[in-house]
Amino acid sequence: MILKKIDFAFSQLVRLKHSDEHGNCKCVCCDKSNHWKNMDAAHYIDRRHMSLRFSETNVNPCCKGCNQFLGGNLKAYEYYLIKKYGEDIIRFLNSEKRREAKFSALEIEIMCDNIKDQVRLLLKQKQ
């Protein structure tokens, strides 16, 4: 339950950060633009890897078509990541996913509160 709350807030944060003044953001895989509320926050490395679950490098806006129906459209996602961060990013993410990361309930609560504060601030700025 607690992970659901932080996942929801983190998804909002990622999509809002990538949105323009009208609330639209582009899919990192296909460049389709839509309102941030209609987009997904897609993980390049699956979110079961806690070390990358809340990494803004690993999580980016993605249209529902690419994320849900094309399995994340990983080849296009990989191209985006390399273009943005350089050749070593895929190797780094694959290495980082092996790092064990455990968060206590208190740590997750604190992270969630921090993320929610950032979301509130971004929503206020977008109005």
For 41-77, the pLDDT digits (tens) are: 999 999 999 999 999 999 999 999 999 999 899 999 9
Q: How many CA atoms lie within 13 A of 111 on its CB side?
A: 19
Domain membership of residue 15 as a residue range? 2-112
Residue 124 has pLDDT above 80, yes or no: yes
Residue 118 in any domain: the answer is: no
Q: What is the token pair recorded at 123?
A: 């929503």
Residue among 25, 26, 62, 27 nearest 43 (CA): 62
Q: What is the token pair recorded at 96?
A: 């980082």
Residue 127 in any domain: the answer is: no
φ/ψ of residue 46, rounded to 5:
-45, 140
Residue 117 in any domain: the answer is: no
Residue among 96, 88, 90 nearest 77 (CA): 90
Residue 82 in any domain: the answer is: yes
Residue 120 in any domain: the answer is: no
CA-based torsion, 19, 37, 89, 67: positive or negative: negative
Mean per-residue pLDDT over the chain, rounded: 95
Virtual torsion, Cα 43, 49, 55, 56, nearest 10 deg? 0
Instruction: Categorize the per-residue pLDDT at 115 as very low, low, confident or very high, splitting at 50, 70 and 90.
Output: very high
Residue 102 in any domain: the answer is: yes
Residue 8 in any domain: the answer is: yes
Residue 86 in any domain: the answer is: yes
Residue among 58, 59, 67 nearest 29 (CA): 67
Check residue 87 and give its pLDDT. Answer: 93
Total domains, the chain: 1
